[in-house]
């Protein structure tokens, strides 16, 4: 039964339908969480005793930085599945995720530099995490460029999957190498094993925003995947039926 479910989900026709019915729910939930997170973060949370009001950029910056990593890991997972089992949908997921991941990375860099100007007195410093994030952006751009350069869509998807897997081995190495090279950024405050070093009134909006960003990714990637699916399968019977029925 379980197996059957996956077979069904992996068939483009079912995926297209189920994704279509999921998107409004995910988008609605995303809107709800964003509003709640922004309200909590911008009005209810107290100003920081050191950084004043400008720390509130964190509610965008930190979830964006988390998502930039998360999306890459999802891409690597989907890429591995696509390469091993030749599942078309997994390949589509990889390439649909890449621009979203790149934009999250870009958002994290921009919001970080907006925060850095009042805090560190510079738009850009060669700090370890900033540098790692910048290299991550280059990796995303490389993936997008490679996909754009190969004409055949299946070949492009598999090439991109291999590149993503090579990148995912490199990301921890890049991360540690730059961390060890130079560090100015504040250490992790949420993912420590003992009590988080962040006050609960700031943690709640942060987590709300993190969920909102996840939901945003989920519904946008489904929209992109549906579009990609239609373009690829434009000759398939079910697409023709879909178009004719409308």
Partner 1 sequence: MKCDSLTRAFTLLIRRDLILAMRHRAEMANPLLFFILVTSLFPLGIGANPNLLQAVGPGIIWVAALLAALLSLDSVFRSDFEDGTLEQYLLSSHPVSVLVLAKVLAHWLITGLPLLLVSPLLGVLLDLPAAGIKVLFVTLLLGTPVLSLIGSVCVALTVGLRKGGMILSLLVLPLYVPLLIFASSAVDTAAAGLPVTAHLSLIAALLVLALSLSPFATAAALRVSLS
Q: Indicate whether 135 belongs to the interface with partner 1 (CB under 8 A).
A: yes
Residue from 51, 103, 113, 177 touching partner 1 (CB under 8 A): that is 177
Per the CB < 8 A criterion, the answer to whether 96 and 228 are in contact is yes
* Minimum CB–partner distance for residue 191 and partner 1 (Å): 23
Distance CA 228, CA 27 (A): 19
Distance CA 107, CA 179 (A): 21
* Minimum CB–partner distance for residue 209 and partner 1 (Å): 28
Q: Indicate whether 200 belongs to the interface with partner 1 (CB under 8 A).
A: no
Binding pattern for the stretch 18-57 against partner 1, x by CB under 8 A and - elsewhere: ----------------------------------------
Residue from 163, 206, 209, 222 touching partner 1 (CB under 8 A): that is 163
Distance CA 222, CA 242 (A): 18
Residue from 2, 21, 173, 187 touching partner 1 (CB under 8 A): that is 173
Distance CA 20, CA 229 (A): 12
Distance CA 236, CA 227 (A): 14
- Select 62 or 143, whichever has its Cβ closest to partner 1: 143
Q: Indicate whether 185 belongs to the interface with partner 1 (CB under 8 A).
A: no
State which of positions 79-118 bind partner 1 (CB under 8 A): 83
Per the CB < 8 A criterion, the answer to whether 67 and 217 are in contact is yes
Q: Indicate whether 77 belongs to the interface with partner 1 (CB under 8 A).
A: no
Distance CA 79, CA 95 (A): 9
Return the SS3 of 11. Answer: coil
Q: How far apart are the first and last CA of the chain?
A: 33
Distance CA 21, CA 38 (A): 27
* Minimum CB–partner distance for residue 44 and partner 1 (Å): 40
Contact stretch for partner 1 (CB under 8 A) within 18-26, 30-38, 91-99, 149-157: 149-157
Count residues binding partner 1 (CB under 8 A). Answer: 27
Neighbouring C-alpha atoms within 13 Å toward the C-beta of 246: 5
Residue from 48, 142, 223, 232 touching partner 1 (CB under 8 A): that is 142
Residues that bind partner 1 (CB under 8 A): 83, 135, 138-139, 141-142, 145-146, 149-150, 155, 158-159, 162-163, 165-167, 169-170, 173-174, 176-178, 180-181
């Amino acid at each position: 039964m379980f197996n059957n479910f996956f077979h069904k989900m992996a068939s483009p026709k079912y995926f297209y339908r189920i994704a279509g019915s999921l998107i409004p729910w995910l988008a609605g939930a995303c809107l709800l969480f964003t509003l709640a997170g922004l309200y909590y973060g911008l009005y209810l949370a107290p100003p920081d005793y050191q950084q004043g009001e400008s720390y509130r950029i964190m509610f965008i910056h930190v979830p964006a930085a988390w998502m930039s990593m998360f999306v890459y890991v999802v891409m690597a997972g989907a890429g591995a599945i696509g390469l091993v089992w030749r599942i078309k949908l997994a390949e589509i997921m990889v390439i649909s995720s890449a621009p979203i991941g790149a934009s999250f990375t870009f958002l994290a860099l921009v919001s970080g530099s907006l925060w850095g100007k009042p805090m560190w007195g510079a738009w850009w410093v060669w700090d370890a995490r900033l540098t790692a994030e910048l290299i991550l952006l280059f990796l995303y751009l490389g993936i997008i460029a490679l996909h754009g350069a190969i004409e055949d869509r299946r070949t492009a998807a598999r090439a991109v999957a291999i590149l993503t897997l090579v990148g995912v081995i490199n990301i921890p190495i890049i991360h540690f190498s730059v961390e060890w090279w130079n560090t100015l950024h504040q250490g992790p405050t949420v993912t420590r094993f003992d009590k988080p070093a962040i006050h609960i009134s700031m943690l709640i909006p942060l987590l709300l925003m993190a969920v909102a960003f996840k939901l945003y990714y989920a519904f946008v990637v489904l929209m992109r995947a549906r579009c990609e699916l239609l373009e690829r399968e434009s000759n398939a019977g079910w697409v023709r039926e879909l178009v004719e029925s409308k």
